[in-house]
C-alpha cells in the first residue's frame, strides 16, 4: 500500500514537473530569460525522478541512451546559469562561461561512441560509467557551492530574492547528499533502499517549487520591477485622499510634519514589517505618544494611518494601465502589504470592493 502511494506521488510529481517547465516558457506571467534555465532544470529533475522509479519500463535502447547521457551534468550547468541571471552576475556575459556545459557534451559524446561502436558491456563501458557517475556528483557539488557563494555575495538583488535563491540552493544540496548516499549504499551493500529516499526528495522538491519556488519568486520579481519603475515617479506631495493634518500646538506641528515626510518622501509604509515602535523611533518619541498624536490629530490608529498610504499606492498602480501586466498580489506587496489576505481585507474595507474589481474600473492611460 505504501509503495503504491509512493508511486502515485512520484508520477504526480513528474507530471507537475513537466507542467511547470512548459508553463515557465509559455506563460506571460513567468516568461523571462532566467526562467528558461529554471524550466530546463525542472524538466531534467522531473526526468531524473522518472528514471529513478523502479517500476518504470526503461529497457528500450532510446531510454537507456538518454539515461547514460547523464542529464545531471546538464542540470548543474542550467541551474548555475539560472542563479547567475537572477543575481545579474557578470560571469554570464563571458564567452568561456559556456564551458560549464562541456561535461555534458563530453558525456553525450562518449555515450554515442560506446553505442555506435558497440562497446556496451565492455570494460571500457563499465569504467566510463563509474567515471561519469563520480564526476557528475563532484560537478553538481561544485556548481551548487559556487552558486551559493555568489548569491551570498550578491548586492544586486533584494533580501527576499536572496533568501529564495539560498533556500533553493539548500534543497538541491540536500538532494545531492541523498544522491551520494544511494551510491555509497550500492557500492557497499549492492542495495537500493536509499533510492526511494532520493525519489521522495525529488518529488518533494517539485511540489515545493510549484508554489513557493515559482509563484512567490515571480511576485518578488514583479514587486522589484514595480519599485524600480516607481523610483522615478515619486510624488512627495501629500495624497488627496489621505486624512488632513490637524495641528494642536507647535511641537505637534513639528512631529506631524516629520511623520508625513518620512511616510511620503521615504515611503516608510512600503516596509511590510513596519512597526509602531519603528515609526516612533524615527520621530524620537514613545509609542504611546505616537498613537496619541495620530489619534487626536488624524482620528486614526497608527495601523489605519499606515494602511491609508498603502491603499492609495495600490489604487494608483491598479488604475494605471502601464502596470496591467503585474499581478494584483505583486501590487499589494509593492504597496507594503505583507500578504495577499491582508491586502484584500484592508482594500475592501476602505473601498467596499476588491483590488481585482477596482482594477476593472475605467483607467487613465
The residue that leads in pLDDT, 149 or 217, is 149
To 10 degrees, what angle do helices 328-335 and 217-230 make?
Answer: 60
**Residues 55-105 pLDDT 10s:** 555 566 777 788 888 899 999 999 999 999 988 888 888 888 889 999 999
Residue closest to 136 by CA, chosen among 37, 21, 48, 39: 48
pLDDT (0 to 100) of residue 232:
45
Does 252 score more than 50 pLDDT? yes
The third-level CATH classification (topology) of the domain covering 250-359 is Arc Repressor Mutant, subunit A (1.10.10)
CB neighbours of residue 336 within 10 Å: 23
Work out whether the CA dihedral 168, 172, 174, 175 comes out positive or negative. positive
Task: Reply yes or no on whether the pLDDT at 343 is more than 70.
Answer: yes
Mean of pLDDT values over 199-213: 64
pLDDT tens-place string over residues 32-52: 788 889 889 888 888 887 776
Task: Identify the pLDDT of residue 236.
Answer: 41
CA distance 109 to 168: 31
At residue 364, what are phi and psi to the nearest 5 degrees? -90, 145
At 45, which helix (H) or strand (E)?
helix 33-51
Determine the average pLDDT of the residues in 254-272.
87
Q: pLDDT for 92-137, tens place per residue?
A: 888 888 899 999 999 999 999 998 888 888 889 889 988 998 899 8
Helix/strand/coil for 19 = helix
- The domain segmentation of the chain, as residue ranges, is 2-230, 250-359
For residue 238, pLDDT over 60 is answered with no
As given in the structure block, the three cell numbers for residue 234 are 515619486
Helices (H) and strands (E) in the chain, counts: 16, 0
Q: Of residues 63 and 258, which shows the higher confidence score?
A: 258
Residues in the chain: 365
DSSP code string of 59-107: -SHHHHHHHHT-HHHHHHHHHHHHHHHHTT-GGGG-GGGGGGGHHHHHH
d(Cα 282, Cα 262) in Å, to the nearest integer?
Answer: 8
Q: What is the pLDDT of residue 309?
A: 92
Tell me: the pLDDT tens digits for 10-34?
677 778 778 878 877 887 666 778 8
Above pLDDT 70, what percent of the chain?
A: 77
CA distance 160 to 150: 16
pLDDT at residue 247, rounded to an integer:
44
Amino acid at each position: 500500500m505504501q509503495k503504491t502511494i509512493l508511486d502515485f506521488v512520484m508520477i504526480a510529481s513528474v507530471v507537475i514537473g513537466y507542467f511547470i517547465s512548459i508553463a515557465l516558457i509559455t506563460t506571460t506571467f513567468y516568461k523571462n530569460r532566467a526562467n528558461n534555465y529554471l524550466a530546463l532544470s525542472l524538466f531534467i529533475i522531473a526526468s531524473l525522478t522518472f528514471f529513478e522509479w523502479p517500476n518504470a519500463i526503461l529497457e528500450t535502447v532510446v531510454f537507456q541512451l538518454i539515461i547514460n547521457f547523464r542529464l545531471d551534468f546538464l542540470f548543474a550547468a542550467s541551474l548555475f546559469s539560472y542563479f547567475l541571471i537572477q543575481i545579474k552576475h557578470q560571469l554570464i556575459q563571458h564567452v568561456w562561461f559556456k564551458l560549464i556545459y562541456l561535461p555534458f557534451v563530453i558525456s553525450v559524446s562518449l555515450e554515442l561512441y560506446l553505442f555506435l561502436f558497440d562497446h556496451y558491456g565492455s570494460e571500457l563501458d563499465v569504467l566510463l560509467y563509474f567515471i561519469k557517475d563520480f564526476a557528475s556528483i563532484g560537478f553538481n557539488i561544485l556548481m551548487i557551492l559556487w552558486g551559493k557563494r555568489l548569491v551570498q555575495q550578491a548586492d544586486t538583488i533584494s533580501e527576499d530574492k536572496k533568501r529564495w535563491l539560498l533556500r533553493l540552493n539548500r534543497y538541491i544540496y540536500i538532494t545531492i547528499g541523498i544522491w551520494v548516499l544511494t551510491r555509497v549504499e550500492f557500492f557497499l551493500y549492492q542495495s537500493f533502499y536509499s533510492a526511494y529516499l532520493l525519489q521522495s526528495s525529488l518529488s518533494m522538491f517539485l511540489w515545493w517549487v510549484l508554489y513557493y519556488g515559482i509563484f512567490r519568486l515571480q511576485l518578488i520579481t514583479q514587486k522589484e520591477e514595480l519599485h524600480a519603475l516607481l523610483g522615478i515617479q515619486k510624488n512627495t506631495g501629500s495624497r488627496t485622499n489621505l486624512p488632513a493634518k490637524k495641528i494642536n500646538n507647535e511641537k505637534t506641528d513639528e512631529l506631524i510634519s516629520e511623520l508625513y515626510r518620512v511616510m511620503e518622501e521615504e515611503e516608510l509604509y512600503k516596509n511590510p514589517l513596519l512597526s509602531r515602535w519603528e515609526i516612533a523611533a524615527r520621530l524620537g518619541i514613545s509609542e504611546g505618544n505616537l498613537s496619541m498624536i495620530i489619534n487626536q490629530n488624524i482620528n486614526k490608529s497608527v495601523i489605519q494611518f499606515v494602511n491609508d498610504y498603502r491603499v492609495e499606492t495600490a489604487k494608483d498602480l491598479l488604475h494605471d494601465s502601464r502596470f496591467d501586466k503585474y499581478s494584483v498580489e505583486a501590487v499589494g506587496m509593492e504597496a507594503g502589504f505583507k500578504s495577499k489576505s491582508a491586502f484584500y481585507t484592508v482594500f475592501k474595507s476602505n473601498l467596499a470592493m476588491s483590488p481585482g474589481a477596482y482594477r476593472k474600473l475605467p483607467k487613465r492611460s
